Chains A and B, each alone.
Chain A
């Protein structure tokens, strides 16, 4: 068994001698915390030199490189060169290679958290591997190095000035001893020189490592995000108590091996490589790939009292709606009609604008109050589709930046803005805050609406929550169709899948049977042949107005749920069958006592399902690009469905082609259907 000696230079009271298993190999690790004692560290190295396989030192100040040359503290140099036979490693190579990679990786997944932020470093000199990559991500950096190292209350703002500072003062650092007592306090009360520290403490994100933070008073970390290379369970507990909001841990995989840190990992790498051959960057890259290392965001204390804001972009649904803006309400309707085309044209030249606020949304799950900022682009749907996507992107991105400045954590795209170009992907890539289209909840709420309509018509019997009837999904192999089919298969007896390509249908059938093996599935390439048996029809095609089904063949009392835009079932067709209920979507009601002075095209406090998704994500504190592009995802729809139920977002109205479908309309439809059924029987 290989024997590793670990010396924790900046720690105290953490000594052990244990055998651990790490990726199928056993190592004996002997650790001594030497508590900043240079002499002791050297003595122990002397004792173990030539006896153990590798010596790993952690907590020593690293070699600081700047443009011409480098600085290494004489004590650190003395310690690192004190062994004659055994290799000494300090984890610096792994940090230099892995940390920039980890931060990039994290940025690509959760772009809002560490880009375009004010980021504070306790000591950037000791964490140079973080500096450059965070500077690249358009963050403004505040480095408290002068205070941390020399107790001078001044901040540095770029890696260039940091280099100059280090170069200038390296003779001073050389004379200083590495001591615990040299670490200053960041405690609010004891500060004498306020200004520079205030600036540092106002940063939302702070970067530190265990050696930095362990000796500080942690009260200033309340509500902050901490970027840290590795987090030991002990420190994690302390940070949790101090009220840290969340932590980005670069190597969370090591947390389960509580004894292993960066330098021990480098030691293991050195053992694998054999002593005598120094570790190269390539070895670290291989290790990262082999162990599948990736960063993680952990949330500890999300502040529920704080009002979280989200944003939502809408646009006038028609020229007439432009005149609903408070400033234009004075224009009488007759004039408005005349002005409409011209105004539409003229308005589309104007940039996006702030439209209004939705206040008082309060989650039923955690009581968090959220507030919606509604922005509007001025194009009507016609204009949106006519114009180049780039122009629209730019307009929406301006609004994204505006809302980020106003403190929004997430932005939703409403109505036609989410189908421009690549449906949100480009906007999300360039936006400072996460973007969602809200399609997941739209799909879910449409299915809620279909369920409600079926229940109100009452033609389909139900055992428990299981409908004893037939549902047909037209366009089942599309993304919305497939998700709808999967969800409906959980609660319907027979599912008929219709799509033009048979081979795709068979694949889908297999997938659905995995989710619910009890459901009966019929596949067909022709809708009309099975139409007469369906109680619910979902159409989601890209037929662009072509007829996908013969409405005259539909069973009386059937509900047709038309998810396609433009609609598959035209209004004229729908009128021909008064005994069939054609619905378009379901709109929802948000929890809490809503205060909404603006008109978003719906009555009262009813909102679009896609807006509700954005609000839900804000209530849950899940600031991520939840739904993007035209495709939706089965798991995400189920997740948002669950969130909606927990937080109290409920179906409010069933939408038809022209606005809400009232209870009277449903009753009328039911009477027609009953009559028709009698006729058919006789």
Chain B
């Protein structure tokens, strides 16, 4: 069995490769620069030079033939994950890149299944529920990342008749549940770092008004859990036709209020965050404090996430609990 992985050099990608490489005879990893020092602990890894934004993706003709004729599983994990990136950058990587990979997959002769890493950000945060097998129709987006990932998932869904398709929507990916290691600041980390930065002020305050919805849940999952679950899904796949969507989100996810309380506990603060309605002033204030304005709408999200299909096929998801890894995550501060 041979697998082709894009985005292997990314934060999630490295974990994915480590989990998946033992399952396959040959693992082909797409990269823009060939001199990769990382991930050389596996013997069956082959690096392929290419770029998903190029039409043919793989530059070398012979290697392209290998991809087109011998690969059994595609895992498309490459994406530009940055809520602050410009529309055109996001679009080129997420939409155009996905379209090119899909075209490659369509021409691939021995393809058994196509895995695509989407995101739960495709859900409309004005709705209450994101179902697994449905991509809700949506036209208003608050950041370019969500918008382009939404368009890309739409493209993947439109080509579902060509090959069995699996769409994986991970939650907000947080650091390693063992080491707490995290390569990038985003989501809950913004708060962690902002609180750390202003800790001297917060120590003296009792009540701080903060514009957020205390019920909003933080759909997080540690990166190592996410990668393990994806590899389990690939391992258990029976390659039946059609499309399947999985939501990879830990159990007992905290609400923003819980999360802030946990941070209080961690820092030894006694601050009460007074929930405040949505307003432009606090949005601007947050960006002054170092939280990008694109994060702001997520603090009012009403969404909860359907996990029935995922739990059915992946009972191990119940073992990933917020309580078990929260200390590790705070540990990097």
Contacts and interface: CB of A to CB of B under 8 A. Distances in A.
A642 B77 CA distance: 63
A37 B103 CA distance: 24
Interface string A10-28: 0011011100000000000
Nearest to B141: A12
B55 A51 contact: yes
B88 A40 contact: yes
Interface in A108-149: none
Given A13-B139, A15-B155, A51-B55, A43 B99 contact: no
B279 to A, nearest CB: 22
Nearest to A38: B88
A48 B99 CA distance: 13
Nearest to B88: A40
B62 interface: no
Nearest to A3: B55
A39 B85 CA distance: 13
Interface string A32-56: 1011010110011001100110000
Contact of B88 (A12, A43, A48): A43
A44 B87 CA distance: 12
B54 A47 contact: yes
B92 A44 contact: yes
Contact of B95 (A15, A47, A52): A15
B114 to A, nearest CB: 15
B166 to A, nearest CB: 20
B88 A13 contact: no
Contact of A40 (B87, B139, B158): B87
B154 A40 contact: no
B86 A39 contact: yes
A48 B91 contact: no
Given A32-B96, A51-B55, A17 B103 contact: yes
A37 B55 contact: no
B91 A47 contact: no
Interface string B79-123: 000000011100110011001001100000000000000000000
Given A16-B158, A17-B102, A17-B103, A37 B96 contact: no
Interface residues of A, number: 18
A40 B95 CA distance: 12
Contacts of A48: 55
B255 interface: no
A39 B92 CA distance: 11
Interface in B225-257: none
A30 interface: yes
A411 to B, nearest CB: 47
Contact of A47 (B53, B103, B139): B53
Interface string B138-152: 010000000000010
Given A47-B53, A47-B55, A48-B55, A17 B99 contact: yes
Nearest to B155: A15
B86 to A, nearest CB: 7
A72 B287 CA distance: 39
Contacts, number: 43
Contacts of B87: 35, 37, 39-40
A47 B96 contact: yes
- Per DSSP, chain A at the interface is mixed
B103 A40 contact: no
B95 A32 contact: yes
B155 A40 contact: no
A366 B155 CA distance: 44
Interface string A540-581: 000000000000000000000000000000000000000000
Nearest to A33: B151
Interface string A51-68: 110000000000000000
B100 to A, nearest CB: 8
A13 B149 CA distance: 11
B265 to A, nearest CB: 44
A300 B87 CA distance: 38
A37 B102 contact: no
Interface string B154-169: 1100100000000000
Contacts of A52: 55
Centre residue among B87, B91, B92 by max chain A CB count within 10 A: B91
A13 B154 contact: yes
Most buried by B among A13, A35, A52: A13
Nearest to A51: B55
Nearest to B95: A15
Nearest to B152: A15
B60 to A, nearest CB: 17
A320 to B, nearest CB: 72
Contact of A44 (B96, B103, B139, B158): B96
Contacts of B53: 47
Interface in A248-295: none
Given A13-B151, A15-B155, A32-B96, A40 B91 contact: yes
A37 B139 contact: no
A52 B139 CA distance: 30
A15 B99 contact: yes
A16 B96 CA distance: 10
A34 B158 CA distance: 19
Contacts of B88: 37, 39-40, 43
Interface string A183-204: 0000000000000000000000
Contacts of A35: 87
Interface of B: 53-55, 86-88, 91-92, 95-96, 99, 102-103, 139, 151, 154-155, 158
What 9 A-B pairs are tightest by C-beta distance, nearest first?
Answer: A40-B88, A39-B88, A51-B55, A17-B99, A37-B87, A40-B91, A43-B88, A17-B103, A37-B88
17 contacts: A12-B139, A13-B139, A15-B99, A30-B99, A32-B96, A34-B91, A37-B87, A37-B91, A39-B88, A40-B87, A40-B88, A40-B92, A44-B92, A47-B55, A47-B92, A47-B96, A52-B55
Interface of A: 12-13, 15-17, 30, 32, 34-35, 37, 39-40, 43-44, 47-48, 51-52
